[in-house]
Amino acid sequence: MMMDKLQKFCVISLTQGGRHADNTVDLQEFMIMPTGAENMEQAIRMCAEVYQFLRIILKQKGLSTAVGDEGGFAPDLSDSESVLEVILEAVKKAGYEPGKDISIAIDAAASELYDEERGVYVFPGEGKMKGEEVLRDSGEMIEYYEKLAEKFPIVSIEDGLEEDDWEGWKQMTKRLGDKIQLVGDDLFVTNIKRLACGIKLGAANAILIKLNQIGTLSEALDAVEMAQKAGYRAVISHRSGESEDSFIADLAVATGAGQIKTGAPCRSDRNAKYNQLLRIHEALGELAVYENPFKENEKNC
């Protein structure tokens, strides 16, 4: 059955670090969400404009405009605040207001930073740029995100803590979950058993859905259904290694997930999904509804 809703669709990667890029940025992805867009075309245009202004700004600063796995830029910057500051500069240069027109999302991929032997998160890039080792425990990681959210218009954090730190996730959700979307990717791995555990504990408030991570469409749909029934959001996602197959765009609309994470407006493997969303939008015509998952009000396309 074709759904009659086309919800807010994109979490666009702007800069990358961690294992998805060869640079000094420790957190894996810094993304933008066009929360102030009125319709699909405007949302894509806004994100593409910010992306291109960021390219110009990075060049002017003498920083790399090479791209990572998802198409985001991979400059060497000293810490997360430096990355977020240059993104906000690009948002403003494009003529948009941070927090109103464009909001920020982060994929920390914290499991990649976690040192199990020492029980701390190691920030090697930040340490290299600062000339001293930078370590944070679970409590300090939560404080770290709280400070970033106070300074920048962050609405979503993915994999903020290590995948088996259930108690840490529980505490982070208590402290941040009422104002920030906390997405479990490595935490849940699109698995209903882990999702059920998270729901029971009150860990996270959203799940990332990766179709080929769980292996079958039916299992992915089960995870979306369980999440939505529990009041958790579902974000349909690509993988770091992608093809031009655009099925996840259809899946995002069909499930009413409201969000899709599919990389930067760069290269055909990422743009194929955005083009498919535009085709769906055109096919639905006046029936299409463009929704912001972070606001109660709905806007017609």
Question: CB–CB of 253/5 below 8 Å?
Answer: yes
Distance CA 137, CA 110 (A): 11
Distance CA 185, CA 169 (A): 12
E strands present in the chain:
10-16, 29-33, 103-107, 114-115, 120-122, 135-136, 154-158, 181-184, 206-209, 233-237, 259-261, 289-291, 298-300
CA-based torsion, 64, 52, 275, 286: positive or negative: positive
Distance CA 202, CA 259 (A): 21
Catalytic entry in 70, 158, 163, 291 = 70
Residue 264 Cα distances to 65, 155, 210, 229, 278, angstroms: 13, 18, 17, 30, 16
Active site residue 70: yes
Question: CB–CB of 103/33 below 8 Å?
Answer: yes
Residue 85 in tokens: 């500051």
Catalytic entry in 49, 126, 210, 242 = 210
Active site residue 61: no
Distance CA 4, CA 66 (A): 39
CB within 8 Å of 28: residues ≥ 6 apart: 16, 17, 18, 19, 20, 107, 108, 109, 112, 159
Q: Which residues are catalytic?
A: 70, 210
